[in-house]
Structure 1
Amino acid sequence: MTEGAIFDILRQALWIAVTISAPLLGVALVAGVVVGLFQALTSIQEMTLTFVPKVGAMLVVFWVSMSFMTSTLVSFFTDAIIPQIEGG
């Protein structure tokens, strides 16, 4: 296996990590901004108010996008990693 092949697989793996984590991070960002605005408007400074909605929204999005994440990872391993292990 050459250096170029290793860098190519690493680049693909990092891009897949970004693709898989984007829905969760996007929802966490939106939920945090919404809760932050709500806290600023109502002057409520409760720590659990920021944590619980974010975790709940992230769990829902994770549950909905789990099949996408699984199929993306499986296709990466079957198309890129396993052929390199086999020597192809």
Structure 2
Amino acid sequence: MSDAFVMGLGAQVMWLVVKLTAPVLLLGLAVGLLVSIFQATTQIQEQTLAFVPKILAVIVALLFFGSWMLRNLVDFTTSILGHLVNYVM
């Protein structure tokens, strides 16, 4: 295997990781920002207030995007295993 092939495969894996984690992270970030703005305007400094909405947002994102994420992961894995003979030689 050439170095270019390994680097290309690594780039594909990194792009897949970014693509799969982006919806969950962005939704958690948006909810965290809204909670922070709420805390700043009301001057409520309760630490647990920040965690519960973010956890719920991540759970909702996983429920909503989970099938899409799994489909992308299975497609990538199928592609890798389908071309395994090409990778070994």
TM-score with structure 2 length normalisation? 0.91
Structure 2 residue aligned with 1:46: 46
CA offsets 1:32-54 (integer angstroms, 9 cap, x no match): 11000000111100010000000
Unaligned runs of 5+ in 2: none
Structure 2 residue aligned with 1:72: 72
Q: Displaced runs of 4+ in structure 1, greater than 2 A?
A: 83-88
Structure 2 residue aligned with 1:19: 19
Query: CA offset at residue 78 of structure 1?
Result: 1.2
Structure 2 residue aligned with 1:4: 4
Unaligned runs of 5+ in 1: none
Task: Provide the alpha-carbon RMSD of the alignment.
Answer: 1.2
AA aligned to 1:82 is L
State the identity %. 37
